Structure 1
Amino acid sequence: MTSAWTNETAIQQWNSGSTRESMEATAERGDFAKEHLLNPVLLRLLGDVRGRRVLDAGCGNGYFSRMLAGRGAQVTGVEPAESLISFAREKAGEGISYVQADLARLPEMEPFDAVVCSMVLMAIPEWKPAMRACVEALRPGGLFVFAIVHPAFEELLGTWRKYGEYRQTEYLAEYEIAGRDASDFHRPLSAYLNEVAALGCRVREVAEPGLDPEMADGIESHVRMPNFLIVAAETGCPLMP
């Protein structure tokens, strides 16, 4: 299972799997799911970011960093994969700086008002140190927003197309899910929420976005079931050792 994986091996996968073509295609708003399901909720949960220091943790090609900067935030994007951060730096505009680092081993930085970690934690073998680093990067009362593939509906589209319904045979175990560019790792929803609580955060909202039926066009499964989970939490309680 995930014991054979390290963040370094996962980073190598993302580095080799991220082509220039794919990064250019998603440089403005991300892919279809990010544009129509994730971005609107992430931006709503983050609220007015004008003048706020925001950490885009695992920023990938930097598209969301650029969206945040366009709304007036002072953004630091962190990304370990060389191909992705090189592209992000190439496209960077005013109000953005980038740091190449493993999320589980963030360098010391000035505290942030908000940390957003979108579609990253389920792709990290060492996800607990990464989540802790995100929380520790916040000022007291800061906002931590993370998005993951919904643990209950990870292979939603494929099984829906095959069976006309969603099917899952294993939920409680942890296991690897091989992907086109890199692997994800299944963990129960309780693992993420319990870790947020253990890190002294108070959950403000949990969102399970569904696709607008007018946008479905052959992916009805995303109208009926949530393929993604988004959590907003705020710091304030002491961290557990």
Structure 2
Amino acid sequence: MPSSDGAAYEGFADTFAREASTSAYNAHYDRPTVLDMLGDLDGKHVLDAGCGPGLYLSVLLARGATVVGCDQSADMVRAARAQVGSRVPVRQHDLDAPFDWVADSTFDIVLLALVIHYVRDRVATLAELRRLLRPGGRIIVSTSHPTADWITAGGSYFEAGHVEETWSGGMTHRYWRQPLQAWIGDFTAAGLALERLVEHQPADSMAREHPSTYGKLNREPGFIAYQLAPARS
């Protein structure tokens, strides 16, 4: 996770990994949606930017990708390395800092799963990640749905600013909210074009494991995902 929220995850990596491996919003909502968007990964070179405890890394490997992971939190990096061992290089990196350890045109796909809302300068980070893409490459971003953020925070839908929530275990979750047009504006300012927009739908497995959340997410949006590619000049 990036520096704006990275300290909050220190000491919580193992707890987060246990919960996210089975939770409604992670295991039965975000990961199925994002993995479907990623499509065929055989032979693809993928950067999992903000990889957390590495829950995506093993799946990406199993689907034939060559994978690199990074996260701002040292605790998350430790957990991710424990998850994948020597099969995936995982390093500590703040998404608000330049990727000076990565050459231009290195990756086919950059994955930003539930992490962009922690980044301080979203335009700069996205522009830097665009530099890392090979021709035909894409960035997959998942984040909380602007409507869900509005319902949670109240006030005007068009407000932008930080929201704080306390999660189980006492971890403070601080993230950025803004309306949909502002997200699209950030992508455009970073030199990216929106190729696809997906509003998450709960997996059928959520109905069995988390029936109340399944009912809620069948009625109202929780997360949203974007497929981005370098804009044509």
Same fold by TM-score greater than 0.5: yes
What CA deviation, in whole Å up to 9, does each residue of 1:161-203 have, x standing for no partner? xxxxxx9422222222112222112112212212222333232
1:87 to 75, 79, 83: 79
| Aligned residue in 2 for 1:55 | 47
Show the 5 A alignment for 1:84-163: 84-93=76-85, 95-105=87-97, 106-110=99-103, 111-154=106-149
| Aligned residue in 2 for 1:193 | 184
| Aligned residue in 2 for 1:3 | none
| Aligned residue in 1 for 2:65 | 73
Aligned length: 220
1:177 to 163, 167, 179: 163
Rate the CA distance shift 1:39–1:8 in 2: closer, same or farther, 3 A: closer
- RMSD (Å) for aligned C-alpha atoms: 2.2
8 Å CA contact 2:47–2:110 kept in 1: the answer is yes
What CA deviation, in whole Å up to 9, does each residue of 1:104-142 have, x standing for no partner? 212331410000101001122232222222222111220
Quote the Cα distance in structure 2 between the aligned partners of 1:94 and 1:72. Answer: 16
Q: Secondary structure at the match of 1:195?
A: helix
8 Å CA contact 1:132–1:199 kept in 2: the answer is yes
Deviates more, 1:114-123 or 1:128-137: 128-137
Q: Which letter maps to 2:187?
A: V
User: 1:223 Cα deviation (Å)?
Assistant: 0.7
Q: Secondary structure at the match of 2:201?
A: coil
Structure 1 outlier segments of 4+, above 6 Å: none
Quote the Cα distance in structure 2 between the aligned partners of 1:185 and 1:178. Answer: 9
1:32 to 24, 28, 34: 24
Quote the Cα distance in structure 1 between the aligned partners of 2:155 and 2:3. Answer: 30
TM-score normalised to structure 2 length: 0.84
Rate the CA distance shift 1:58–1:231 in 2: closer, same or farther, 3 A: same
Quote the Cα distance in structure 2 between the aligned partners of 1:212 and 1:12. Answer: 31
Deviates more, 1:119-128 or 1:75-84: 119-128
**Percent sequence identity over aligned pairs:** 22
Structure holding more strand per residue? 2
Gaps of 5+ in 2: none
TM-score normalised to structure 1 length: 0.82
Rate the CA distance shift 1:93–1:50 in 2: closer, same or farther, 3 A: farther
